[in-house]
Amino acid sequence: MRFRSYFAAVLGSLAALLAGVLLLNWLVDPLDVYRVLRNDGFNRVKPSYTPYARLAKPSQVERGNYPRLAIGSSRVLMGIPMQGSAWAADGSAGFNMGLNGADLRTVRELLEHAIAVGEVKSVVISVDLFMFNAWLDSGHYPYPLARLGETDGERFVRQRDTAMRLLFSPGVTLASIDTLRKQKDKYDKLLPDGSANPAHELRQVLADGYETRFRQFEDRLLRTGWSPCRDNRYAFAARNNDTMALFREILQLAHDHHIEVKFFISPLHARLLEMMDASGLGDDYEAMKRNLLAAIVAVYGEAMPGVALWDFSGYHHYGVEPVPQQPGVAMQWYSDASHFSQALGKLMLDAMFGAPTAAYPFGVQLTPANIDAHLQAWRERQAAFRAANPALLAELQQRTAAVLRDKQANGSACGGL
């Protein structure tokens, strides 16, 4: 009898503990999935969200059933606002599915998940040389995602496994405790619509300094982001990872499910474009644009109904914004060489959705009829920038050469394609 009483007491304590953990994670909601309560001083700020974004965002999309989605890497996360642009003019709800380091496979799997669980009507997707780097295959998504044709049993298992992670995992429980402890604006990194909080980002970059941030991202992309290889080779297909095939799958998903999709090539700062060119990747960048357009035409035809490819890269008014060297001075259009501000993202969305508001218009919708002229004009603006900035050009080329020398000794030994 004593053993039975002891066993019952242990089971009862365990059940109470599990119930307490469930209630804590459900009410505090550190990943902003359940939204039972969202109160100042209790759980409005979500300081521990970012490490679990890949778990949280698919669940938020499934529960929210958003007709508008932005999908992509940190450039989407930080630069694409879900409110205040021509894209949001109809008042429909939107969600930012941008994830740090997202590649084409991640984008493809997130898009299929969104289609399978909701009624997606309009999607904006970023594309850039980093995302098409076939040497950096991230593998499949780390958490359960919905698939088209999912059976009821498969859906039950997926939702059960996701709920277990959201409500019972030790990591999320620690995130709930952290949420209760850190209800201050300085920890408020993310908005409820999934996009980064621009006020928090500005505070962070002012603390770091723009020149420091620019150099960090310039060197990082040159060292491993575009190519980790010792010889700095770039490839759209390598080691059973064909990024253009993944892009065609994304196109086919959008086409088959009648989703309006707009792809955009990010407005990298001119400094980063110069380091890309100095590293020998300029031709690959141009090839990417041509390959993207060719893939779209192959799926949609030359009329391209329901799809658009916009190029916001180049040496335009925004992309040559001077980088402050003194502390406390904020940039308007960039937070570093790779990431643009939501102010610039709004201008991009306005252009893509037919209500341009930029004082200095930029961005070109690429078509088979204008691609050659556009790339020629792009190169002419590049030449003009170089002629006007010889000292900066020399400094960027020297830094590029130094990084490439280091890669020759410490880069990855990339084998055959």
Confidence band for 7, pLDDT divided at 50, 70 and 90: low
Structure tokens at 208: 């770091």
pLDDT at 267 over 80: yes
**pLDDT score of 140:** 87
Q: What is the pLDDT of residues 345-403, one digit of tens each?
A: 999 999 999 999 999 999 999 999 999 999 999 999 999 999 999 999 999 999 999 99
pLDDT at position 303: 92
HSE value, Cβ hemisphere, 13 Å, CA-based, for 112: 19
* Residue partners of 87: CB distance under 8 A and separation at least 6: 68, 94, 122, 124, 349, 352, 353
pLDDT in tens, 87-135: 999 999 999 999 999 999 999 999 999 999 999 999 999 999 999 999 9
pLDDT beyond 60 at 1: no
Please state, in angstroms and rounded to a whole number, the distance separating the CA atoms of residues 106 and 96: 14
pLDDT higher than threshold 80 for residue 15: no
More confident of the two residues 330 and 9: 330
Nearest to 319 by CA among 364, 360, 278: 360
* pTM as predicted: 0.95
pLDDT by residue (tens digit) across 20-56? 899 999 999 999 999 999 999 999 999 999 999 999 9
**Burial profile 293-312: b = 16 or more Cβ within 10 angstroms, e = fewer:** bebbbebbeeebeebbbbbb
pLDDT value of residue 18: 85
Which ranges of 221-335 does DSSP label H, i.e. alpha helix?
A: 243-256, 270-278, 282-300
Burial profile 324-355: b = 16 or more Cβ within 10 angstroms, e = fewer: eeeeeeebebbbbbbbbbbbbbbbbbbbbbee
Q: From the DSSP assignment, how many helices (H) and strands (E) are in the chain?
A: 14, 8
Q: How far apart are CA 224 and CA 205, in angstroms?
A: 22
Residue 3 has pLDDT above 80, yes or no: no
- Going from N- to C-terminal start, the domains of the chain cover 65-150+185-410
pLDDT at residue 2, rounded to an integer = 67
Q: What token pair was written down for 345?
A: 């993202």
Residue 188 contacts residue 42 (beta carbons within 8 Å): no
